Structure 1
Amino acid sequence: MPSEDLELKPGLETTRAALAVAFGGPEAQERASQSGIVPARASNKLFVFSDPHKSKEHGYNFDGWTEGDNQGPVFDYTGTGPTKDQVLSGLNGTLLNHASQKLELYLFISDGYVKPGGAKKQRLVGQMQVDATEPYTERWDYDTTGALRRVFVFRLRPVDIDQTDMRPSDAVQPATKTDVLPIPKKVKEPVEPGAKSKKTEKHSTGQTIATIPGGERIVNRREGQLVTAFEEHLEAAGHAFSSFQITVEGEPGTLTPDVYDETDHVLYEAKGLTTRPNVRMAIGQLADYRRHLKNPETLRVAVLLPSEPTPDTKALLDAEGVALVFRTDGGFSGFPLPSLT
């Protein structure tokens, strides 16, 4: 049985090997120097280790505290799998479903070495939980072989903000250059048998113990279902589609439009609710995306909605030069967009 003599207090400095001995049993001790996600099932715990330097060597650098939202701070943590597309099975599936598996989640950040040439020192940030509304986002980058692949960036929230070691130095680092990365048509990822998963804006979320506004979860699901249905509509019409991942010099994080119709050169931003605030937000997002893409003078932009908006909202879109496509019982009104000629 684990000794649990090592007290898990925020700011604790230890090593992976010491954690494995204290909490893990044989399974965790065997994995102590391997993956960044280490289950310690003998103690009902799950340890995740963030190492920005090692992450960059593996072709990504997405880890760190973000600006958060009205529910509080968020730590972005990149899943495991150094080559090819990451999947939501195996250790990533364990992280996604840690609450339903009754595993307490603890986040550590690599912070120097015990001594020159010694083991890496791990600093405990605190107990976390995977966000219930949006458990992860999809990002794209090149792996160690130079191949473009998808990675899953999990959104972790503190269980108790007062028991969390938050430091400015642990924030997501800003991009060193502005870059637009074309990302391919989305593919279905393998899902751990019996597990609930959420592909970004497409599937139902995994369950956690967090208390969140129910409406936000519903809106996210509606938006995901809308995007999925529209992509299927595009495919049936013989249109090729993809998207972009935009990084901006001096800013952390990425911008990712919902759908780019390659056939008609149209960029779509979807919203889960047909309201004026949502439409106004979509107009702003499209204006921001458009400035960074090639041939902005010929790129058309459109808002994708689940139902028909009010006449004045339509007039707003028309005044801003933004097309409108909305879902109907028989498909999508407004698609395809009228020809430019």
Structure 2
Amino acid sequence: MARTRCSARESGGVSGASYCGGMPSDDLELKLGLETTRTALAVAFGGPEAHERASQAGIVPVRASNKLFVFSDPHKSKQHGYNFDGWAEADEAGAVFDYTGTGPVGHQVLTGLNGTLLNHVAQGLELHLFISDGYVKPGGAKLQRYVGQMTVDSVVPYTERWDHDPQGTLRRVYVFRLRPVDPQQTDIRPDDSVQPAQETSVLPIPAKVEEPAKPGVKSKKTEKHSTSQTTATVAGGERTVNRREGQLVTAFEEHLEKAGHTYSSFQITVAGERTTLTPDLYDETDHVLYEAKGLTTRPNIRMAIGQLADYRRHLDKPETLRVAVLLPSEPTPDEKAILEAEGVALVFQTDNGFAGFPLPVDPA
């Protein structure tokens, strides 16, 4: 069937956007090098009733075309307290773009537009990323540079981060991890990377978040380590391990509460670096920092030892801070010996609770 051509309509002074009979048109081709406006995109892919979408939040579903447009604006992000957007350090799976969800004030939630982004594959929406890059003319509409088609990472779709909103209130935000569908057709620029931290800082963060109550619905607390990830089979079973680790930490938090202990964690940023460090759990009552692993293996134990050594340097009173590894089962005698040699305590889950807790106090 031949494509129907419709008359072009100028929108924003950049790209011609067209529609025909109320149906979207794909005359505006999403390809590398495209610079356009939100209005042009809305009209081209959403039809004539989509003009109002141009002023919406950074996550814009256009269901008429089965697309989800995500707009990253570094300047606006800083105004709203978002300091996490941009290309992060690539990992074994390749490039990843960190994108802070919507919700400028208070704790963000994984519903509404954030829920649409998280579940875009299940909802049949193609995800396309744009970065704000100048203006059509002084005082005109913002230019949106097309980055490429993306997808939310299937293993770790998001991470929780903490920052202050414009009112100075500490709140939780969700940073989604977006992967290029085709790296060769993705505009990856060093200038679009996450900006390095200006200074080293340690931000205490709560272990639980009180979710806003809906009318007629009792408010609930969200576990910091809970996850919506399923146990689908992926390379290395990483998703399953992530889920096990989250469940292990949640179970230990409940154990701490029954013992009358309070707990929290920290968000550590390091001057000159783009990464954010977040220990699994800090027992405030016993001044113990825990690193959890979803599998009891030698590589995991060795990794946990290194992570704890890294975190410890940045926290108050490192000379008195005790550190411990939290495991889902008892390790081998030699693995225990590794921990003992490095001065790292061990707590592991049993059928009746957790062996090794509370940690014995060094008589010295």
TM-score range relative to shorter protein: over 0.9
Contact 2:198–2:272 (Cα < 8 Å) also in 1: yes
1:190 shift after superposition: 7.6
Alignment of 1:119-138 (within 5 A): 119-138=141-160
Contact 2:194–2:274 (Cα < 8 Å) also in 1: yes
Alignment of 1:270-281 (within 5 A): 270-281=292-303
Select which of 221, 225, 228 maps to 1:204. Answer: 228
Take 2:225 and 2:66, find their aligned partners in 1: how far apart are those partners?
30
Q: Given residue 118 of structure 1, which amino acid in structure 2 is its aligned partner?
A: G
Structure 2 stretches lacking a partner, 5+ long: 1-22, 214-221
2:98 corresponds to 1:76: yes
Q: Deviations over 1:173-216 (max 9, x none)?
A: 1000000000012226589xxxxxx98752232799xx941511
The equivalent residue for 1:163 is: 185
Structure 2 CA distance for partners of 1:212 and 1:259, relative to 1, 3 Å: same
Contact 2:281–2:289 (Cα < 8 Å) also in 1: yes
2:17 corresponds to 1:2: no
The equivalent residue for 2:246 is: 224
Contact 1:109–1:124 (Cα < 8 Å) also in 2: yes
Contact 1:67–1:74 (Cα < 8 Å) also in 2: yes
Alignment of 1:80-159 (within 5 A): 80-159=102-181
Take 2:193 and 2:155, find their aligned partners in 1: how far apart are those partners?
22
1:253 shift after superposition: 2.2
2:51 corresponds to 1:29: yes
- Indicate the larger mover: 6-15 or 78-87: 6-15
3-state secondary structure, aligned to 1:32: helix
Take 1:207 and 1:18, find their aligned partners in 2: how far apart are those partners?
40
Take 2:143 and 2:199, find their aligned partners in 1: how far apart are those partners?
31
1:232 shift after superposition: 1.0
Note the aligned Cα RMSD (angstroms): 2.0
Structure 2 CA distance for partners of 1:23 and 1:139, relative to 1, 3 Å: same
Structure 2 CA distance for partners of 1:69 and 1:284, relative to 1, 3 Å: same
**With structure 2 as the length reference, what TM-score do the two structures score?**
0.88
The equivalent residue for 2:17 is: none
**With structure 1 as the length reference, what TM-score do the two structures score?**
0.94
Take 2:29 and 2:93, find their aligned partners in 1: how far apart are those partners?
28
Take 1:41 and 1:103, find their aligned partners in 2: how far apart are those partners?
7
1:26 shift after superposition: 5.8
Q: Which contiguous aligned blocks of 4+ residues in structure 1 show a shift greater than 6 angstroms?
A: none
1:254 shift after superposition: 0.5
1:25 shift after superposition: 3.3
Query: Aligned residues, how many?
Result: 334
Compare the two structures and name the one with the higher strand fraction.
2
Structure 2 CA distance for partners of 1:199 and 1:232, relative to 1, 3 Å: closer
Select which of 47, 55, 64 maps to 2:69. Answer: 47
3-state secondary structure, aligned to 1:187: strand
Q: Given residue 287 of structure 1, which amino acid in structure 2 is its aligned partner?
A: A
1:34 shift after superposition: 2.3
Structure 2 CA distance for partners of 1:107 and 1:212, relative to 1, 3 Å: farther
Choose between structure 1 and 2 for higher RCO, CA contacts under 8 A separated by at least 6 residues. Answer: 1
Max Rg structure: 2
Structure 2 CA distance for partners of 1:279 and 1:207, relative to 1, 3 Å: closer
2:313 corresponds to 1:288: no
Structure 1 stretches lacking a partner, 5+ long: 192-197
The equivalent residue for 1:195 is: none
1:11 shift after superposition: 2.8
Structure 2 CA distance for partners of 1:44 and 1:189, relative to 1, 3 Å: farther
The equivalent residue for 1:194 is: none
Take 1:26 and 1:145, find their aligned partners in 2: how far apart are those partners?
37
Alignment of 1:319-330 (within 5 A): 319-330=341-352
Structure 2 CA distance for partners of 1:167 and 1:18, relative to 1, 3 Å: same
Take 1:251 and 1:203, find their aligned partners in 2: how far apart are those partners?
27
Take 1:26 and 1:289, find their aligned partners in 2: how far apart are those partners?
53
Q: Given residue 114 of structure 1, which amino acid in structure 2 is its aligned partner?
A: V
Contact 2:43–2:49 (Cα < 8 Å) also in 1: no
